[in-house]
Each structure stands twice: as structure tokens, then as C-alpha cells.
Amino acid sequence: MQMFPMFSLPSRAQRALAAAGAALALAGCASTPPSANAPTGAVLQTAATHAYHGRFAVRYDDRLGNPQNVYGNFDWQEHGDDVSLELRSPLGQTLAVVKSTPRAASLELPNRPTQYAPDVGDLMQKTLGFELPLAGLRYWLLPTAAPATPAETVRDPADGTRIKQLRQDGWTIDYLAYADAPATGVKRVNLVRATPPLDIKLVLDQ
């Protein structure tokens, strides 16, 4: 099964990420950690309650309305309410590291100072040009609806124990494949938001 074609991350995408990071710094984002007690990546990796590894493809419109595509690999580490997400190019270079806690969010770009903000969504939008729904993904990858807001759930008619689609918080989440036994969990999931347009495809490695 192939979800993504063979590719190498376009150099313009890497330049765009770096340029966005520079623009965010020039715009005056704080570069001082909000708390010395914020958890480190090492803590997240060793005490994670959920960990996902796989591939991603993101399609979005930039500020000028031009379609953009970013592809690569990801590592997700989660412990309680703390999430660490690393995005890498298909060749393994780190594109960005996002960390979210109830207290603050941070984003690291190669060769740039770490940026901090209260909200992870705003931080990603301003820096990367797109916003990954980390708060929802924590539940959608289980898969289940997030508990704080209303959701519509469609069960798989061929297997009532599995969710086929979720609609929540402006997102439509389609579960395209589940892992083959004895493995469990989601294998392929697509997430689409209409406004502003954002299309995310994930393949989770078991």
C-alpha cells in the first residue's frame, strides 16, 4: 500500500519554513521560556503514554492564497496533557519540533531561536503557515471524539466496533484503514478543514 509518491521535500518548502521562523522572530514573539519547569523532550520520550510514528502530507494555502504542500515523517510523544511533535523531511532532516503543555507552547526550527506562545495553534500558523490540531489529534488518533465539544460519529457498517468518520470542531476525520491483527489502532487517517482550507494525511507505522 502506497499513500505518498516517492519524493524529496522541495527546497522551497524548507526555505519557507525557515523564512517564516525569521518573520515570527522579527514580529516580536517572545524567545524566553515561560517556565523553567516546562517538561523536556527527554521526559516526554521516556514517560509517554502514547507514541506514534509515521508519515504526513499537509496541503494548505499560504497567505497569498497559493497552494502549498509539505511532506515528511513525524514522531509524536504524549504524556498526560504534554505533547511533543517532531516533523522531519523524507530524508530525515528536522523541519520543526512542536511542544505543547497546559502552560505554554514552543516551536523549534533549524538554526532559529526557540519560539514560545500561550497557544500552539497560533504559534504554528504564524511560523509554519499551517496549524495542526494537536488538541483534537490527541483523541482522534485513539480513535475517539474529544470530550470537550460536540461531535458526530459514523461507525463502519462492516465493523460496528470501528469508527469510519468523525466530524468535530470544523474538522472531518476519515479513518481509511486500521492495523491488521495482532496489531491494533489506526493505520491511515485523513483530516480536512474547510475554513481556512487544510488537508492532512497521516500514515501510522505499527
Q: What is the DSSP letter of 27?
A: T
Pairing of strands 151-156, 159-168: antiparallel
d(C-alpha 60, C-alpha 65), whole Å: 9
Neighbours of 111 (CB within 10 A): 7
Q: Which residue, chain included where needed, has cell 511533535?
A: 85
Q: What is the mean pLDDT of residues 99-112?
A: 92
pLDDT of residue 35: 35
| Contact between residue 171 and residue 136 where contact means Cβ atoms under 8 Å apart | yes
Q: Rounded to an integer, what distance in angstroms lies between the CA atom of residue 151 and that of residue 122?
A: 23
- The mean of the pLDDT values for the chain is 80
Give yes or no for residue 19 having a pLDDT over 50: no
Lowest-pLDDT range of 25-29, 82-86, 139-143, 150-154: 25-29
Rounded CA gap, 25 and 114, in Å? 9
Q: Quick one: pLDDT band at residue 10, thresholds 50, 70, 90?
A: very low
Q: Which fold has domain 49-204?
A: outer membrane lipoprotein receptor (LolB), chain A (2.50.20)
- pLDDT band for position 183 (cuts 50, 70, 90): confident
